[in-house]
Amino acid sequence: MTVTEQLSRLDHILAHGGINTLFQPIVSLSERRVLGYEALSRGPSNSSLHSPVTLFAAARHGGRLNDLEMVCRRSACRQFSHSALQGKLFLNITPESLLDPSHKPGRTLELVSDAGLDPADVVIELTEQTPTEDFALLDNALHHYRAMGFSIALDDLGAGYSSLRLWSELRPDYVKIDRYFIDGIHQDAIKREFVDSILKIARASRAEVIAEGIELPQELQVLTEMGVDLVQGYLIGRPQERPPADLSGFFTRSEQAQTLADEGGDLGALLLVQPAVNADRPIGEVLETFRLQASLNSIAVLDAEERPVGIIHRHLLSEALLKPYATDLLARKPISRLMSEDYLAVEISHSLQQVSRLLTSRARQRIEEDFIVTENGRYRGLGRVIDVLKLITEMKIQQARHANPLTLLPGNVPIRQCLARVLEQGRQAAVCYVDIDHFKPFNELNGSICENNEQLGELIATIVTTIEENFELTPKCAGPERLDQRTHSDNR
């Protein structure tokens, strides 16, 4: 589509609507509650302006940025109020739109009031896409918002052109750390130092820090240990038109996140609570569900007992309806006509390793397709293939990082973690410590002990069995392997 066509399409959107608003939750870990929701705007799903990047770039190019942002704010306020969402509404606003001469003061307050919202529950979130020139004028504009009762947030700290100066000049109530510094923070010391510095500055300036872009339990665990309380990201909740009001399941999973990562436990941490449809649901209604929820990749199809019988993937549905007159001919037909019966359904109690093996054994499994998660055969939600693979990879890296370099068996760090969990839980446990004398010359003479792990494992198992029989204990460990099967060598 040419620039002229994009601008024409933009004019149509601004005149007749077509903006879709999604909401992503921001939660407080310490208070176990939803602080609020960030409103994210999307263009029409069947348009080249669906992507927010393309949509706002076109508006900026055509000098309609202020007009587009007002339409987005109106849509966000109305939908937030209509959905009766709890907490604060975070509205994205660019500094350049606030400084636009055509910007009318008081218009945002009018939109908020018309939607029945209290300005005290609305946060103006500054998203910097271009350099900010006039800090004094921007400061005056934000003082105007504060005087009306709004709070101020600074988005993407560390990614903007002058975000640190904006923080110093504007003194926002909330600071959101750019997801670049969150991605893989559990394995990047420099990113941890950056976040730690931000936390220190935030305490001094009395700003609250929000970590956004969290996708892995390990990232959440590290941030929690560092003292970050407000979090946002796919791990907590994806942007949705109608986000779930109850996130108690996430808070329960977040408390178990480290244990799950260590154990390779059940799939609770990866579960996506998504709507499902009955097999007789009309295709037209399912198509409309996909249209309204741009982030939805798949929908499970269930029978009368809520057991999965198929799955609908967005790309397959789109392909089926590309044929001439297909939409008109199939709109009232049951979705069972187009659903795929070649799907993977796994129990939520399955381990990540089990699911990973099932996924990799499926020749036709595509990485962008979801799989179905069940509990006792009944539908619970969906899981993403990419999430499983990423978590498995992180677990392998974590295990390798703390492995003994000679034996490749778990080293001191996981052993200490395992012992700490056993002590915290107050469980009975038997610990077997094996110290191999003269290990270094033995290893040099006979090759790596990794080649003899089977014999070594059999020896330890025999010792453990003897301990269990004599002391009538059933030692178990919350780590990736049983504590009583671990060995440690100091190379003496």
Over residues 371-387, the pLDDT tens digits come to 999 988 899 999 888 88
CB 358 within 8 A of CB 346: yes
Does the residue 328 lie in any domain? yes
CB 38 within 8 A of CB 23: yes
- Reported as a pLDDT band with limits 50, 70 and 90, residue 4 is confident
User: In terms of residue numbers, what domain contains 48?
Assistant: 3-243
Select the more confidently predicted residue: 69 or 355.
69
> d(Cα 137, Cα 101) in Å, to the nearest integer?
12
Does the residue 250 lie in any domain? no
CATH number of the domain residue 131 falls in: 3.20.20.450
What does the pLDDT read at residue 17?
78
Claim to verify: residue 220 and residue 356 sit in the same structural domain: no
What would the mean pLDDT of 389-412 be, rounded to a whole number?
67
What does the pLDDT read at residue 441?
73
> d(Cα 111, Cα 18) in Å, to the nearest integer?
18
Q: pTM of the predicted model, to two decimals?
A: 0.54
CB 195 within 8 A of CB 211: yes
What does the pLDDT read at residue 151?
93
Among 37-41, 60-64, 107-111, the range of highest mean pLDDT: 37-41
> d(Cα 391, Cα 394) in Å, to the nearest integer?
5
- Reported as a pLDDT band with limits 50, 70 and 90, residue 482 is very low
What does the pLDDT read at residue 98?
76
Claim to verify: residue 196 and residue 215 sit in the same structural domain: yes
> d(Cα 487, Cα 461) in Å, to the nearest integer?
11
Of 373, 392, 411, the one marking the end of a domain is 392
Strand duo 298-302 + 230-231: pairing: unpaired
Select the more confidently predicted residue: 441 or 306.
306
Task: Give the tens place of pLDDT for each residue, 241-265.
Answer: 988 877 877 776 665 544 444 444 5
> d(Cα 89, Cα 121) in Å, to the nearest integer?
6
Number of independent structural domains in the chain: 3
What does the pLDDT read at residue 217?
86
- Mean pLDDT, the chain, rounded, equals 78
- Where helices occur in 83-180 by DSSP H, the ranges are 95-98, 107-114, 135-147, 163-170
Of 223, 243, 263, the one marking the end of a domain is 243
Task: Give the tens place of pLDDT for each residue, 130-183.
Answer: 556 667 777 877 888 888 999 999 887 755 555 677 788 788 899 999 888 999
Percent of the chain with pLDDT over 90: 21
Claim to verify: residue 312 and residue 213 sit in the same structural domain: no
Percent of the chain with pLDDT over 70: 76
- Walk across the sheet containing 276-278 and list its strands: 276-278, 298-302, 308-313
Longest dimension (CA), the chain: 84
What does the pLDDT read at residue 124?
92
List C-alpha distances in Å: 297 to 289, 315, 336, 389. 11, 8, 17, 17
Does the residue 268 lie in any domain? no
Claim to verify: residue 412 and residue 364 sit in the same structural domain: no
Does the residue 265 lie in any domain? no
Closest by Cα among 79, 6, 10, 7 to 40: 79
Question: Around Cβ 484, how many Cβ atoms within 10 Å?
Answer: 21
- Reported as a pLDDT band with limits 50, 70 and 90, residue 204 is confident
Does the residue 251 lie in any domain? no
What does the pLDDT read at residue 485?
37
Does the residue 271 lie in any domain? no
The residue type of 33 is R
> What pairs with residue 211 in β-bridges?
177, 231
What does the pLDDT read at residue 59?
86
